[in-house]
Chains A and B, each alone.
Chain A
């Protein structure tokens, strides 16, 4: 148990559906991240939030829409996804602080959401 929870753990959706992934961290951290891990590929950083502000969007298609209402919660809204978007979506958090992109601290990961797009 890392203190980062993700729901749901598994999700199957059609290409026309709208769904959301939720991440919650209980560590008092200020930065949160979304990663994507496709089969047989390394983790890819998608988004970074620091103090609720988005500090990085790693050229992610607009069908993925993140939301960070507070430092403890992070959402990833999904709409009109494609089958190639099927992957393990991982959330992480780190202490961070200050302004700008502070990505120097140890990141703690949630268990991930296994997404299948049909």
Chain B
């Protein structure tokens, strides 16, 4: 079975540009999570969805960040406009109601 799929794997952009990260969860999983990993702050939960509905977005750092889940097999995390401090690895994870979360390979974002 395919795991969580994320694209792109690497993204380099300039400050002020829009960035869109994509995620396809594991088929049959009803929860989807976006995390950010940096050296300074470690792994942080940004937002999560259950059954395509956003449940908790308190971890989203600013209004520049937005996330959507239009259907059970696709989610996006958008940053507009991007800033150098947004540089990080962004992970998507999915889980079934049992709670075990499975992470994707991540998107390494560099904002110049």
A and B form one complex: no
Q: Which residues of A contact B (CB under 8 A)?
A: none
